[in-house]
Structure 1
Amino acid sequence: MAAHRRSRKRSAGGHTARTAAAIALAGAATATGFDGPALAEPQATPERIRADVAELYREAEAATEKYNGAKEKAESAQRRLHDLHDETARRRGRLDEARDALGSVAAAQYRGGGLDPALRLLLSENPDGYLDGTALAERVGSRQKAEVGRVRGQLREIEQLRGAARVEVEALTSRRAEMKRHKRTITGKLTAARRLLSRLPPEQRDAGADHASRSPAGPRDGVTASPAPGPRAAEAVAYAYEKIGSPYVWGATGPDAFDCSGLVQAAYRSAGVSLPRTTYAQINAGRRVPRSALLPGDLVFFYSGISHVGIYIGDGRMIHAPNPSAPVRVAPLDEMPFAGAARVS
């Protein structure tokens, strides 16, 4: 049996070719540095390259939505922290007023022949520890008790505000770190996509060119045949039409560049409707509607992770911001796996 196995010799040329191919594929996969489709082998067809690019764009867009969500939460944490600092400053002003009132009492006692030791401690630079003693209230008069109680309460409130501020600082730091992680993923995916696209002539570099070429549309096409459910939806559709041709830029919300959820948010903002920033939040911002009941202005979502969104315009088409290789444009719903739809009231 051993002799039989040895008799099945492999040609040196075949082994070398397979090894070279394996090394090339391994090098291509390593070059991306991310989970996802490896760089296509040098002899891949334009269709295969565009498919790999489309997958990289999809993964980059999923990371973009996570980045947008982390950014939105970071901005909220920053606003809350700012408000806490403002409130703390106001409370410290009230504390100073209360301490001034205690100072008036102390001054009267001093003129009357002596300063109560409890007030001397209370008016020191660090009165917190003295205010916690139960003996203090027993050593001062009723007016002093009221002032001491006011100062104690205000100090407690300030400390609570400081604690809340520390929580917000931690949240802000965490969200910023999360944003950096998602940004690294996005830039890595987009770099890998650009490397792939560089293998194709410029006219073949749009991963969705075949779909787009079969779905021409002029201004307002489809809207009159199937009217929007209300003036706000109609206004959002009108805004989207005006932005056709605008570039895709990840994280952008207009007015001159957009990512997919940024375009939807900007369109409805123009109509006076505030939508969340991310696709996975936008799908819950309105009433869910089946695909068979879509009307212009409805939000249409794609992929199982709800990582892409467009604005329905009628006749089975939408306006969306596809990816960095394609500007805002009209496209058929069938261009991507449909995941659901929502109607914003």
Structure 2
Amino acid sequence: MHLGRKRLGSAAAGLALVAVAGLIPSGPASAKPDISSVQARVDSLYRQAEQASERYNQARLELADLQRDLGVLRADQARQDKALEQVRERVRDSVVSQYEGQNLSAVGEMVIADDPSAFLQKLATLSSYDELQQQMYDTYANQAKALAIRTEATEKRAAQVAATRSELASAKKTIDSKLSQAQALLADLKEEERAAILSRGEIRIPSDVPASGRAAAAVAYAMAQVHDAYVYGAAGPNAFDCSGLTMMAWAQAGVALPHSSSAQFGSGPHVAESDLRPGDLVFYYSPISHVGMYIGNGMIVHAANPGTGVTVSSLHSMPYVGAVRPG
């Protein structure tokens, strides 16, 4: 009886497994990727790469400023160090002349001291300190303090340079990683499906944009780049990122803009959406990480992403933040 129950139990378990298996849909081991989900993922990766790219552009601007500051601080520190040494020599000469012919260890130690604070300590221990020129001592003390301030400022700026360089490297790594992931996703699709994703959202290019003044030169340049490639960090002549395109476009009108969308947002007066004119810069996302150029009729020209390149899109094809009028 015991063995019979065991056999019946095994048979029931087998039937249960068959029943469950029948509920599981049959299909290939790896299903074909859904086009809409791939498109959403590629869009997300491009956005993450662009955010890192604009951080890279901003950090590159900051690095240039920091390096200029560091050069000025180092030159200032060198001048202060020289001035301190000249005062030190005068103080030494004064002390030695007063103790000439005497064998005082304090004088000898003071004369060979290179550290400003140690020099002052030795000077203060001399028995004839009151006989020294008070003004000379004060001058040395002030010069030593000035050097310490300049040295601290130089070291702080050097640390900022190192941190910014690290940020640049991190941003570049993120750009490369996100772009590689997007390319891998697209590589899994058939050619026609891949083309459909990369060509979405394009609008017929207008033949005439009603721009005037300096804005006309900027708009004409930007429109001439439609269909050029998108490359992170590029600013022409045949490839651009978003802020590189707007920077080069307005350069044709004699207006210098920084190569950074967030920096360009602070480059001129802000204008309301209802007052937009062709040539105005329009900004997207929060924090700002994309910029295009308004060309009228609710459209913009912009360097979109590596899949689309420079193209014409609707003003609200992305989360709109605001606009700036350069020049």
TM-score bracket, shorter-length normalisation: 0.7 to 0.9
How far apart are the structure 1 equivalents of 2:250 and 2:132?
A: 58
Q: CA deviation at 1:7?
A: 6.6
Are 2:77 and 1:88 equivalent residues in the alignment? yes
The equivalent of 2:152 in structure 1 is 163
Structure 1 Cα separation of the partners of residues 95 and 238 of structure 2: 65
Taking the TM superposition and a 5 Å limit, the aligned residue runs for 1:1-345 are 10-12=19-21, 14-15=23-24, 17=26, 42-45=32-35, 47-105=36-94, 108-109=97-98, 113=101, 120-124=108-112, 125-132=114-121, 135=124, 139-140=128-129, 144-198=133-187, 199-201=189-191, 204-205=194-195, 207=197, 209-212=199-202, 214-218=203-207, 221-222=208-209, 225=210, 227-228=211-212, 230-231=213-214, 233-345=215-327
Consecutive unaligned residues in structure 1, runs of 5 or more: 25-40
Deviation at 1:77, TM superposition (A): 2.6
Q: CA deviation at 1:93?
A: 1.9
Displacement of 1:190 in angstroms is 0.8
Residue range with higher mean Cα deviation, 75-84 or 114-123: 114-123
Is the CA contact (8 Å cut-off) linking 2:96 and 2:107 kept in structure 1? Answer: no
Other structure's SS at 1:123 match: helix
Q: d(CA) in 2 for partners of 1:251 and 1:275?
A: 15
Which sections of structure 2, spanning at least 5 residues, go unmatched? 1-11
The list of structure 1 runs, each at least 4 consecutive aligned residues, that deviate by more than 6 angstroms after superposition, is: 6-9, 115-118
Q: State whether residues 109 and 115 of structure 1, in contact with CA within 8 Å, keep that contact through their aligned partners in structure 2.
A: no
Q: Could you say if the C-alpha distance between residues 317 and 16 of structure 1 is closer, same or farther in structure 2, counting changes exceeding 3 Å?
A: closer
TM-score normalised according to structure 1 size = 0.75
Q: Distance in 2 between matches of 1:66 and 1:118?
A: 57
Matching residue's letter, 2:280: D
Length, aligned pairs only: 312
Please say if residues 116 and 144 of structure 2, whose CA atoms lie closer than 8 Å, have aligned partners that are also in contact.
no
User: Any conservation in 2 of the 1:53–1:196 contact (CA below 8 Å)?
Assistant: yes
Cα distance, 1:86 vs structure 2: 1.5
Could you tell me how far 1:88 is from its partner in structure 2? 1.1
Is the contact between residue 107 and residue 126 of structure 2 (CA under 8 Å) also seen in structure 1? no
1:111-142 CA distance string (max 9 Å, x none):
x6558877644432334223157846983477
- Larger CA Rg, structure 1 vs 2: 2
- Taking the aligned partners of 1:137 and 1:99, their CA distance within structure 2 comes to 16
Distance 1:14 1:274, change over 3 A: farther
Describe the SS at the equivalent of 1:60: helix
One-letter amino acid of the structure 2 residue matched with residue 151 of structure 1: Y
Structure 1 residues 309-343: Cα deviation after superposition (integer angstroms, max 9, x where no partner): 10112232222111112332333324333332222
Question: Structure 1 residues 105 and 63, CA, compared in 2 at 3 Å: closer, same or farther?
Answer: same
Return the letter of the residue paired with 1:281. A
Instruction: Provide the secondary structure at the position in 2 that maps to 1:295.
Output: coil
Q: Which amino acid aligns with 1:300?
A: V
CA contact (8 A) 1:296 1:312 kept: yes
Whether the aligned pair in 1 keeps the contact of 2:58 and 2:262 (CA below 8 Å) is no
Q: Which amino acid aligns with 1:88?
A: Q
Please report the RMSD computed on the Cα atoms of aligned residues, expressed in angstroms.
Answer: 3.4
Matched residue SS, 1:312: strand
- Give the letter for the 1:123 counterpart: V
Change (3 A) 1:208 1:283: farther
- Give the secondary structure class of the aligned counterpart of 2:230: coil
SS of 2:323 mapped into structure 1: strand
TM-score scaled to structure 2, two decimals? Answer: 0.79
Q: Which of 200-209 and 50-59 deviates more?
A: 200-209
In 2, Cα distance between equivalents of 1:270 and 1:115: 76
Q: Equivalent residue for 2:3? A: none
Could you tell me how far 1:194 is from its partner in structure 2? 0.4
Question: Structure 1 339/12 Cα, relative in aligned 2: closer, same or farther at 3 Å?
Answer: same
Describe the SS at the equivalent of 1:335: coil
Identity of aligned residues (%): 35
